[in-house]
Structure 1
Amino acid sequence: MTQPTTLADFLQDAGIPAALREGLLSVADACRDIADRVERAPLTGHLGALQQSNVQGETQKALDVIANDIFLDVCGASSAFAALASEEMEQLWAREGRSDGPYLLVFDPLDGSSNIEISAPVGTIFSILPRLDDRIGGTVLEAEFLQPGSRQAAAGYALYGAQTLFVFSVGSGVAGFTLDRADGSWRLTHPDMRVPPLSAEYAINAAHRRHWDPGILSYVEACEAGASGPLGRDRNMRWSGAMVADVHRILVRGGVFLYPADRRPGQAAGKLRLLYECAPAGWLIEQAGGRASDSRTAITAIRPGTLHQRVPIALGSADEIATFETYAGAED
């Protein structure tokens, strides 16, 4: 049996510009290294939390810091990137002498790290943004990162689960690769991922139900009502604890993922970060024929105001998101 195409060959054959190709390969290399560290964490003593918090005020896991450092070491050495920004760092990071890189990299190094101790799926989310031509070679400014998701040159994720997967788009569909442990290569296993238009699955953290706005609650109650309710179909709720895993499930099986704003302190603007999570995931879902919204505006149309801006998000099958927006908008 012929081995599936490697990531390097795929990018070469697709005619991806050399700098973007180099950047994507460096991200894939970092994700391969992180996959190894995740797999070996119980053996190396890197399970559990540290006595410190990140810029978001969230307690860091040992692997959050390790994964972030791997990105800085591997992708920071790539000539494709002038600077990097991470969910785990307050400010952007730039290596001396690399301001001529034509791209910027933003990433969540280890999404869902609370799943580590129970060996449930975790992942990495990344986005590659273009620099303006007149800025290349100059000092990188934070404002350069504040681009809407529609301007992404590439975005994707790695999923560290039953298989280690690398899924991305460069603006012309979505392709998925599986890590071949035998030789360390990424091989094409999901050549044209499309969000199925119909599904019986939705994902939301029901523990926050009492804090939801009325429109969100009404939509979830309609889902729960099943075939006899207004949506006319029995449904199952799925919640993985890692956005990457839920996005991957939607790419394979359809459905919706919801993380709305709510009335808890600090959650009025949403929980997830626009640059590091929502914009790349939303763009990927759009490239696969789905939709992503904050309930009113396409996620990829929102221009960030800060590196760590939070937003509510609903993403998934296009018709399902349209239905969700109808319910969410009814509270206005």
Structure 2
Amino acid sequence: MDERASLRSHLEKSVSQTPDCAAACEVIETIAAATIELAGRIADGPLAGITGEAGGMNSDGDQQKDIDVLADDIMRRALRDAPVAAVLSEEAALPEILDRDAPLCVAIDPLDGSANLENNISVGTIFSIRPRGNDILSTFFEPGTAQCASGFVVYGPQTTLVLAHDGRVDIFILDRRVRQFVLIKQGVRIAPDTPEFAINASNRRHWHGPVRAYIDECLAGTHGGGAADFNMRWIGSLVAEALRILVRGGVFLYPADARPGYREGRLRLLYEAHPMALVMEWAGGAATTGRRRILELGAKTPHQRVPLIMGSVRGVRDVAAIHEGIEPMFDNSDAPLFARRGLFR
């Protein structure tokens, strides 16, 4: 192994400079250690008894696989030994109280995108850390600006940890030889203007007018009077999409749409949108619902869903600009209504 800094030494340096962050660093290290265990189980798949078969439904109505249950168990078990007052998991209806006197609360998606494992596509763990309030449960309903750290792990060709902590975003890769994360990029900054977007285009017929208008103008490119010809990317894995934005730039859209169950968006605010928004903003990007900054939102329910548009400042700004000019009641209008007020001409 070369002389790259380990996650532990990186966090120890943070604690030496800012002693108040010691508890957060301990939680980060605990989560990272748990993801190393989970990465091994994911890599082994059927060899480790992971069938990928569906079991029941989780508390929010999503189909639950055996690996989801295993990931939740690994994370909960690890966090019980960390300075965590309560943990909110995608796999549980309500937060679980761990230590009422501990200083932090954690919201976590133990395994995001488990349906992708059947096709050997990257999946991940997403987490959000925030200081405990006087009332433990109400801590989870504060705006995303209350977070002191967040991050995600991508289980792919490499196991990659993206960490938003101490006001910046750093990237680590798991060195499997010594079973520890090592620093590969520090102070990551998202390219401000990359002509690339990611969206599930098969749902176009369900999109609201502002989203259709934005994508149509991207697709029209220079032929339609735009300043650039856009490329489209769609992996269908939130963590992989977010990592690509950190590396390449661009904008990711998972908007609300007209389908039942999607009218308020589909991603969960507390353990998907909030932590991703913190990563994006601390890396110089942006995250919005189209109408509101994600980090300004407070949850009303533990598993509240929201639209998420994130990435390069220019792309996010352009999507928000279309929404700002349209009253919410007209969101369902078709794209021609917006064609006269294009972004790129």
Partner residue, 1:88: 91
The alignment status of 1:205 with 2:200, answered yes or no, reads yes
Partner residue, 1:53: 57
Structure-2 separation of matches of 1:230 and 1:265: 36
Partner residue, 1:115: 116
The residue type equivalent to 2:130 in the other structure is: L
The alignment status of 1:14 with 2:18, answered yes or no, reads no
1:207-263 deviation per Cα after TM superposition (whole angstroms, max 9, x unaligned) = 211111111111111111122224321111111111111011000000001011010
Q: Offset of 1:113 from its aligned partner? A: 1.0
Q: Which runs of at least 4 in structure 1 moved beyond 6 Å after TM superposition?
A: none
State whether residues 47 and 116 of structure 1, in contact with CA within 8 Å, keep that contact through their aligned partners in structure 2.
Answer: no
Aligned positions of 1:243-254 closer than 5 A: 243-254=238-249
Q: Secondary structure at the match of 1:250?
A: helix
Q: Offset of 1:47 from its aligned partner? A: 3.0
1:78-132 deviation per Cα after TM superposition (whole angstroms, max 9, x unaligned) = 1x1011001111011123xx21110001001111111101111101100001013
Residues 201 and 42 (structure 1 numbering): CA distance in 2 closer, same or farther, change over 3 Å?
farther
The alignment status of 1:187 with 2:191, answered yes or no, reads no
Partner residue, 1:263: 258
- The answer for unaligned runs of 5 or more in structure 2 is 328-345
Q: Secondary structure at the match of 2:96?
A: coil
Partner residue, 1:29: 33
Give the TM-score normalised by the residue count of structure 1: 0.94
Structure-2 separation of matches of 1:160 and 1:81: 25
- Match among 70, 74, 90 for residue 74 of structure 2: 70
Structure-2 separation of matches of 1:191 and 1:119: 29
The residue type equivalent to 1:55 in the other structure is: S
State whether residues 131 and 144 of structure 1, in contact with CA within 8 Å, keep that contact through their aligned partners in structure 2.
Answer: yes
> Could you say what the CA RMSD is over the residues aligned between the two structures, in angstroms?
1.4
Aligned positions of 1:255-294 closer than 5 A: 255-294=250-289
1:15-74 deviation per Cα after TM superposition (whole angstroms, max 9, x unaligned) = 352211111100111111111111011212313232301112111111111111100101
Q: Secondary structure at the match of 1:150?
A: helix
Q: Secondary structure at the match of 2:126?
A: strand
Q: Secondary structure at the match of 1:174?
A: strand
Structure-2 separation of matches of 1:170 and 1:70: 23
Structure-2 separation of matches of 1:51 and 1:127: 27
The residue type equivalent to 2:175 in the other structure is: D
Q: Offset of 1:195 from its aligned partner? A: 0.5
Partner residue, 1:103: 104
The residue type equivalent to 2:11 in the other structure is: L
Give the TM-score normalised by the residue count of structure 2: 0.90
Partner residue, 1:149: 144
Partner residue, 1:161: 156
State whether residues 171 and 287 of structure 1, in contact with CA within 8 Å, keep that contact through their aligned partners in structure 2.
Answer: no
Q: Aligned pair count?
A: 323
The residue type equivalent to 2:113 in the other structure is: G
Q: Secondary structure at the match of 1:226?
A: helix
Partner residue, 1:214: 209
The alignment status of 1:304 with 2:299, answered yes or no, reads yes
Partner residue, 2:44: 40
Structure-2 separation of matches of 1:123 and 1:324: 27
State whether residues 76 and 84 of structure 1, in contact with CA within 8 Å, keep that contact through their aligned partners in structure 2.
Answer: no
Partner residue, 2:339: none
Structure-2 separation of matches of 1:209 and 1:47: 34
State whether residues 214 and 331 of structure 1, in contact with CA within 8 Å, keep that contact through their aligned partners in structure 2.
Answer: no
State whether residues 190 and 246 of structure 2, in contact with CA within 8 Å, keep that contact through their aligned partners in structure 1.
Answer: yes
Q: Secondary structure at the match of 2:42?
A: helix
